[in-house]
Amino acid sequence: MVHVKVCGVRTAEDARACVELGASSIGINFVPASPRCVDLDTARGIARAAHEANAKVVVVGVVADIDVDAMRALVHDAGLDCLQLHGNEPATTLAALLPHAYKAVRIASAADVERARAYPGDHLLVDAKVEGLLGGSGTTFDWALVKDLARERRLTLAGGLVPENVERAVRELRPYCVDVASGVEGDPKGAPGVKDLAKVRAFIEAARRA
């Protein structure tokens, strides 16, 4: 059964509801440039609510280009289970945090796939490469590029997934996990991070049908 990560959660209430609907993982954004970024106190409340809803849920902190000591402190202080490195971190930085971290790699070509392969660890996240953005673009990419990678690693597929296309994505790639943020928001331009729970339910049901 494919895992589902709901990312960019900004409230404890949304975290609890998403877990109760069946999300395997909750993503909390700590990247200052992101409209879904939250402060430490808010993150701590989100993590607590998610774990109270299901002790097995994985709470992931999304970070970009901060040092290893700061990342370790964030895991402790926010009550996270692992980190998603979404910047330009080298393989050595990720290696220092394993097994409680994985790299997000933006994909637009076969060369990007080879770059993803060079990172250590069992887990990888692949997202669309959009100029000027680290992620959260709501844009898909050519899934065929990562078909082999999905067989080699525990792959999380992100980028432009919505309730209407996630079943096809899971059937085509059989990824370990699918990741959604803007695809389950009612009006991402008006209130980024506020989840539409009907869309969350539809997304999870579609992913698990595949």
Kindly state the average pLDDT of the residues 55-62: 98
* Distance in angstroms (rounded) separating the CA atoms of residues 54 and 15: 11
* Distance in angstroms (rounded) separating the CA atoms of residues 93 and 114: 18
Question: Which backbone phi and psi does 120 adopt, to 5 degrees?
Answer: -80, 175
Among residues of the chain, what percentage have pLDDT more than 70?
94
130: pLDDT strictly greater than 80: no
Q: Which is catalytic among the residues 7, 18, 37, 177?
A: 7
* Distance in angstroms (rounded) separating the CA atoms of residues 181 and 40: 20
| Residue range 5-51, pLDDT digits in tens | 999 999 999 999 999 999 999 999 999 989 899 999 999 999 999 99
Quick one: which H or E segment has residue 117? helix 110-117
190: pLDDT strictly greater than 80: no
136: pLDDT strictly greater than 60: no
| Residue range 63-74, pLDDT digits in tens | 999 999 999 999
Among residues of the chain, what percentage have pLDDT more than 90?
86
Burial classification of residue 5, based on how many CB atoms lie within 10 Å of its CB (0-12 exposed, 13-18 middle, 19 or more buried):
buried
* Distance in angstroms (rounded) separating the CA atoms of residues 186 and 73: 33
147 contacts 179 by C-beta, under 8 angstroms: no
Q: pLDDT class for 59, splitting at 50, 70, 90? A: very high
At 140, list the tokens. Answer: 């898909």
**Least confident span in 99-103, 153-157, 187-191:** 187-191
Q: Which is catalytic among the residues 18, 127, 177, 179?
A: 127
DSSP state letter for 200: H
Mean pLDDT rounded to a whole number for the chain: 93
Question: Does the annotation count 18 as an active-site position?
Answer: no
Global model pTM greater than 0.95: no
pLDDT confidence of residue 196: 94
Question: Does the annotation count 127 as an active-site position?
Answer: yes
